[in-house]
Structure formats: structure tokens, C-alpha cells
Amino acid sequence: MTDNQTGKTEKKPLSPGKITLIGAGATVLAIINLSTGTEAPSQGVLILEYAALAGGLLALVGGLVMMMTQKS
């Protein structure tokens, strides 16, 4: 998939299924990381963990919405 005039390759966008899987994986890992802590993390680490959880949930929901609205 190279353009003969410029030599640049076109990037294919991620499919909704892949986005959903990535979001689900990130959400599961964030939940496991938050639930198995042996000691209280610092406030900065805790903010990053919750941001990762929010990003994973956002990707999961976004991928599901993309799959539902995709025309066959």
C-alpha cells in the first residue's frame, strides 16, 4: 500500500474489534493492579492508575459504539 508518487505508506485505521480488545485488556490490567496492591501507592501513582483505568474504559466503550454504528 505505497503511493508510487511520494513513497509514503498509508496507515489503516484500527478496526473497532481491535480497539475493543485493547480497551478491555487495559481495563482488566488496571483493575488487577488496583486490587492487588500490598501497600498504599503515592498520590501520583494512584492518579496514573485511575487514568489508565479511565482510558481503558473509554477505549472499550468507544470500540463497542464503533462496532454498533458500523455499516455492513
Residue 64 has pLDDT above 90, yes or no: yes
Higher-scoring residue by pLDDT: 7, 10: 10
Give the bridge partners for 35, in sequence order.
Answer: none
Residue 8 contacts residue 2 (beta carbons within 8 Å): yes
Report percent pLDDT > 90 for the chain. 54
User: How large is the average pLDDT for residues 17-26?
Assistant: 92
Confidence of residue 34 (pLDDT cuts 50, 70, 90): confident
